[in-house]
Chain A
């Protein structure tokens, strides 16, 4: 297993499988009466969130606590520009605290990597700009494995704002590495340049993307883009790329619907689709904790073991 988790791009299939396998074990732990195990007792994990994200931070925090690690939260909405403290200063300060793992979320792509370059501890990327959100993709893979029993050979359609989505990028790399076919569709203004270079097919319409899909993933339209110039109106977006049961008929009969949350109801997904099967959104959230336990165990636990006297 590679040290740190900065992205799914370049991650070996065997490593993804190891994480998923470990995550399923962790999920069993979460189903016990006593949900806590002593695996990471005495280890410290720093959650360094430059961008507010209650959901992801809480998920990492619960995961760390269930493993008995000390979890320290640093939140800062200010960028290093306004604090006049460089990213590398921040990284060096953290390093001095000697954590066993550092979880980083930042609104700009590349920041977790720059921090990782300076740190002795492994860095787990909890989302960087429009680049990657690897734990989200891994928990999505976990959910698909649960639902479908496999990823290999499946057809996955990712719908929406591909250009600004780290969830899309990580999932594209993840599904492709695990042997699925991936198509993307969205308003042309939200499809990034040369997207095919990532190995996906750019569908010309929602219908073409959904045709025969086993997994349909709707992406969240970020709040600041709801009023942006990338599409004419919410109403038009909902009509062209919003999913409802009628449009879902183009996909496989047993297709599942995923969304990284939180859902803009009536925009990316119709109300009834957001709440009920075939959507598996709550399973994604549940699996998030188990998956992050697995990642923390594999990253922070390994360093802990390495430090034990032989």
Chain B
């Protein structure tokens, strides 16, 4: 098997606390050596000068739409978009058609991934059958089939008794239960953050408290059951505070935040662009600041894209009728790099939030670059300027709030299992 020597870069290995100039030798799909001034006869050379050499990014929350909605995305296109954004491992949500609540669907996803995806794909199974929030799914069989976590994402388990049982039972398989925390009764058709913006726009508001109330409930149930609760796409200052307190009490809880909730406030929706419609919605500037602080403090563990492809015609409708969500793989790094440039995060913290932390949450062998670890590597040029055009991206969909945006910093090389799968000048390199 080919050997690859990545030379002259700045190695960021958060799991080992390493931030230093170092070369990386990959062999047989794994890290063979880490050190300075390495030579390797016959190895393919990758010049990493000026670049950050990071563990391949791990996205613990994406929607790949296969099976059932292949017109939006499929595992092949989603996998290509992922590696183009530096993501070498992607966990995909269960709200497909059919729902991934059956080992046969989990098998199918993994089979398609083996054939067509340059990124490693990890299915998340439904927490309840049909995402109906009533009867829990066959967690043990699903884990045996390869599911790494459980989630009814896109929906919320409103019945507290069902949520308690889901959490309790998940201890059998020792896998996280990922929650989309929004109290449906409080959301009540709200499509933008409730506040000055919803009032100006005349659109139904979704109050921050809809998230906070639900996070409070689930933290109490996690504490009661001892299960691993993972809170998806945290968007409010209130939820960050509750998570901070729960962590201090020793509750087994982890949390993620999306690039859009870290970078955009509800004012982005002032032009009624449906590509600014998310669930949960973009929140106030104070909420954005609290999410950034939560990430810096480690209260929020991971950055997850919540990559949610939708076709153009689905977004070109009334704001209230448009499906929520945006694509995110190919812009994630560039968007969150601005937090490093603003001094809110160190490069090592950024690397942890994108790789080692999400890998730990999902118990994946990923997100680290010591000798013997998988050869999943992402090279980032923090100074490279580029302009994002969703039409030229690898996703089948284009629903991004960052279309046409100038960024500084981008993923330039991605390797999975020691194989070059993306190069910024050559595109996705996958059969």
- B-binding residues in A (CB < 8 A): 9, 79-81, 86-89, 106, 108-111, 113-114, 128-132, 163, 166, 169, 192-195, 197-198
Q: Which residues of A contact B200 (CB under 8 A)?
A: 9, 169, 197-198
B199 engages A110 (CB within 8 Å): no
Interface flags for B205-217 (1: CB within 8 Å of A; 0: not) read: 1010000000000
Complex: A81 Cα to B313 Cα, angstroms: 10
B403 within 8 Å of A (CB atoms): no
Interface pair A192/B317, CB less than 8 Å apart: no
Cα-based distance from A263 to B320 in the complex (angstroms): 28
Could you list some 15 contacts between A and B, CB below 8 A?
A79-B321, A81-B321, A87-B317, A109-B201, A110-B201, A111-B318, A114-B272, A128-B202, A166-B202, A192-B198, A192-B199, A193-B198, A197-B200, A198-B196, A198-B199
Q: Is chain A's interface secondary structure helix, strand, loop, or mixed overall?
A: mixed
Q: Cβ of B340 < 8 Å from any Cβ of A?
A: no
Asked if B264 lies at the interface with its beta carbon under 8 angstroms from chain A, I say: no
**A86 CA to B320 CA, complexed, in Å:** 13
Write out the residue numbers on chain A whose beta carbons fall within 8 Å of the beta carbon of B406. none
Interface string of B183-202 (1 = CB under 8 A from A): 00000000000111011111
Tell me the complex Cα distance, A79–B317, Å.
9
A109 & B196 in contact (Cβ 8 Å cutoff): no
Q: Are A193 and B318 closer than 8 Å at their CB atoms?
A: no
Asked whether, in the complex, the Cβ of A106 is within 8 Å of the Cβ of B318, the reply is yes
Interface string of B287-326 (1 = CB under 8 A from A): 0000000000000000000000000010011111100000
What's the nearest-Cβ distance from chain A to residue B282, in Å? 15
Q: How far is the CB of B203 from chain A (nearest CB, A)?
A: 5
- Nearest 10 pairs of A and B residues by beta carbon: A110-B272, A131-B202, A130-B202, A197-B196, A108-B318, A86-B316, A192-B199, A109-B202, A194-B196, A193-B194
CB distance from A292 to the nearest CB of B (A): 21
* B42 contacts the other chain (CB 8 A): no
Q: Report if A87-B318 is in contact (Cβ < 8 Å); known contacts: A109-B272, A193-B194.
A: yes
A113, B271: Cβ atoms under 8 Å?
yes
Q: If A193-B194, A194-B195 touch, does A79 touch B202 (CB 8 Å cutoff)?
A: no
Residue-by-residue, is B246-290 near A (CB-CB < 8 Å gives 1, otherwise 0)? 000000000000000000000000011000000000000000000
Main secondary structure of the interface of B (DSSP, over half): loop
CB pair B196 A86 closer than 8 Å: no
Q: Which residue of B lies closest to A118 (CB)?
A: B316
Bound CA–CA A79/B316 (angstroms): 12
Asked if B199 and A109 sit within 8 Å, CB to CB, the answer is: no
Q: Which residues of B contact A111 (CB under 8 A)?
A: 318
A173, closest chain B residue (CB): B200
Specify the chain B residue showing the minimal Cβ separation from A81: B321
Whether A192 and B205, one on each chain, are in contact in the complex, defined by CB atoms closer than 8 angstroms, is yes
* Residues of chain A contacted by B207 (CB below 8 angstroms): 193
Question: Which residues on A sit within 8 Å (CB–CB) of B198?
Answer: 192-193
User: Is the Cβ of B313 less than 8 Å from the Cβ of A86?
Assistant: yes
Query: Which residues of chain B come closer than 8 Å to A129, judged between CB atoms?
Result: 202-203, 320
Q: Which residues of A contact B313 (CB under 8 A)?
A: 86
* A113 to B271 alpha-carbon distance, docked (Å): 8
In the complex, are the beta carbons of A193 and B199 less than 8 A apart? Answer: yes
Cα distance, A141 to B416, chains bound together (Å): 66
- The 8 A CB mask of B354-368 against A (1 = contact, 0 = none) is 000000000000000
B183 to chain A, nearest CB (A): 16
Q: In the assembly, what is the distance between CA of A131 and CA of B203, in Å?
A: 7
| Cα distance, A109 to B274, chains bound together (Å) | 12
Q: A23 to B198, alpha carbons, bound, how many Å?
A: 32
Cβ B319 vs Cβ A110 within 8 A: yes
Q: Which residues of B contact A110 (CB under 8 A)?
A: 201, 203, 272, 318-319
Give the residues in chain A near B203, CB-CB below 8 Å. Answer: 109-110, 129-131
Residue on B nearest A111 in the bound complex, by CB: B318
Residue of B nearest to A165 (CB): B202
Provide the residues of chain B in CB contact with A194, threshold 8 Å. 195-196, 199
Chain B residues lying within 8 Å of A198, measured Cβ to Cβ, are 196, 199-200
The answer to whether B202 touches A193, judged by C-beta atoms less than 8 angstroms apart, is: no
Q: A110-B203, A113-B271 are in contact. Are A79 and B318 (CB under 8 A)?
A: yes
Q: Which B residues lie within 8 Å of A113 (CB)?
A: 271-272
